């Protein structure tokens, strides 16, 4: 489709595009349609200079589906579906430091995430995004045949348990999500195949022995992180990134300690991977 109401500038041939000529607070139906098309085409899209408060960020997210509430991280005051993403000199960890697709341990993992940064460090704090279409397509025909039909367990427990105590969360007695998903999923809208295992949540390939699972999973998560499937986004104050968790993994770099990096993420519900 030709874009008539937005500007779309690809960042790499495989993944990512910067979108211009829009204010996310005030979108026409045609702009929304074109933003949706650009997301499907480029997998992660970026907007600069967006003055969004939490209500307008949520309203933007709701154009794409119902909002998802994080199973572990506390929401912003009065906005349970908004996840603060914040790091400063007192932080001992940051959100998303290893490759992942958001909350892939959910039985119906989020389709997309919309992150708006209001404070950025003078340098650093980039986010890396990797195309899982490209990762799947680069597998050898023999490896494609091997992984086709396999399922993997994605478990929130090892990653989330105790993680948010510094934010006042007591998770004793809480049960974190755990789900079984296909190793190769078909994107429900584009119908393209994408690898769907990640370092943060995937614990086991189910149809093979533990040894074999470790070896194959190790190979696949290394493969997914190859530079040729990636792009790197350099944030500015009031940049927004909108990524499609069904075909993208991402990793946040913490190379800016003790500087502040701060913003909010709104996450849109998705469906069961097939």
Give the shortest CB-163-to-ligand SIN separation in angstroms: 13
**What is the spatial distance between Cα 121 and Cα 272, in angstroms, rounded to a whole number?**
37
> Of 34 and 106, which CB lies nearer to ligand SIN in the complex structure?
106
Cβ(242)–Cβ(113) under 8 Å? yes
Mark 69-88 with x for binding to ligand SIN (rule: CB under 6 A) and - for no binding. Answer: ----------------x---
Nearer to ligand SIN, 31 or 104 (CB): 104
Quick one: 138 or 253, whose CB is closer to ligand SIN? 253
Residue 265 near ligand SIN by CB under 6 A:
yes
Q: Among 16, 61, 72, 96, which residue interacts with ligand SIN (rule: CB under 6 A)?
A: 96
Q: Is 39 in the site for ligand SIN (CB under 6 A)?
A: no
The residue nearest ligand SIN at its CB is: 96
Residue from 126, 159, 152 nearest 273 by CA:
152
Q: How far is the CB of 50 from ligand SIN (least distance, A)?
A: 16
Say if residue 205 is exposed, middle or buried (CB neighbours under 10 Å; 0-12, 13-18, 19+). Answer: buried
Q: Which of 183, 252, 266, 268 binds ligand SIN (CB under 6 A)?
A: 252
Which of the residues are catalytic? 100, 102, 250, 265
Q: How many residues make contact with ligand SIN (CB under 6 A)?
A: 9
If binding is defined by CB under 6 A, does position 110 make contact with ligand SIN?
no
Which CB, 84 or 144, lies closer to ligand SIN?
84
Rounded to whole angstroms, what are the CA distances from 47 to 23, 65, 93, 243? 8, 20, 26, 12
Residue of the chain from 17, 19, 27, 95 that contacts ligand SIN (CB under 6 A):
95
Rule CB under 6 A: is residue 127 a binding residue for ligand SIN?
Answer: yes
> Rounded to an integer, what distance in angstroms lies between the CA atom of residue 50 and that of residue 40?
21
- Chain residues binding ligand SIN by CB under 6 A are 85, 95-96, 113, 115, 127, 250, 252, 265
């Amino acid at each position: 489709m030709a874009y008539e109401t937005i500007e779309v500038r690809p960042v790499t041939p495989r993944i990512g595009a910067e979108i211009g000529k829009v204010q996310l607070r005030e979108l026409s139906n045609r702009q929304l349609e074109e933003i949706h098309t650009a997301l499907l085409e480029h997998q992660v899209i970026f907007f600069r200079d967006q003055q969004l408060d939490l209500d307008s960020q949520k309203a933007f997210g709701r154009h794409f589906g119902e909002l998802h509430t994080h199973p572990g991280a506390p929401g912003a005051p009065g906005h349970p579906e908004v996840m603060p993403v914040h790091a400063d000199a007192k932080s001992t960890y940051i959100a998303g430091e290893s490759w992942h697709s958001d909350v892939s341990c959910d039985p119906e993992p989020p389709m997309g995430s919309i992150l708006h940064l209001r404070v950025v460090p003078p340098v650093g704090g980039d986010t890396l995004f990797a195309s899982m279409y490209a990762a799947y397509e680069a597998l050898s025909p023999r490896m494609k045949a091997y992984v086709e039909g396999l399922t993997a367990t994605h478990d929130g427990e090892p990653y989330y348990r105790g993680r948010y105590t510094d934010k006042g969360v007591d998770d004793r007695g809480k049960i974190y999500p755990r789900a079984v998903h296909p190793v190769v999923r078909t994107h429900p809208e584009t119908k393209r195949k994408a690898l769907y295992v990640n370092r943060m949540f995937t614990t086991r390939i189910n149809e093979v022995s533990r040894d074999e699972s470790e070896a194959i999973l190790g190979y696949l998560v290394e493969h997914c992180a190859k530079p040729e499937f990636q792009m790197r986004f350099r944030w500015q104050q009031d940049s927004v990134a909108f990524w499609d968790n069904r075909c993208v993994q991402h990793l946040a770099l913490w190379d800016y300690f003790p500087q502040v990096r701060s913003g909010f993420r709104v996450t849109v519900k998705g469906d069961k991977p097939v």
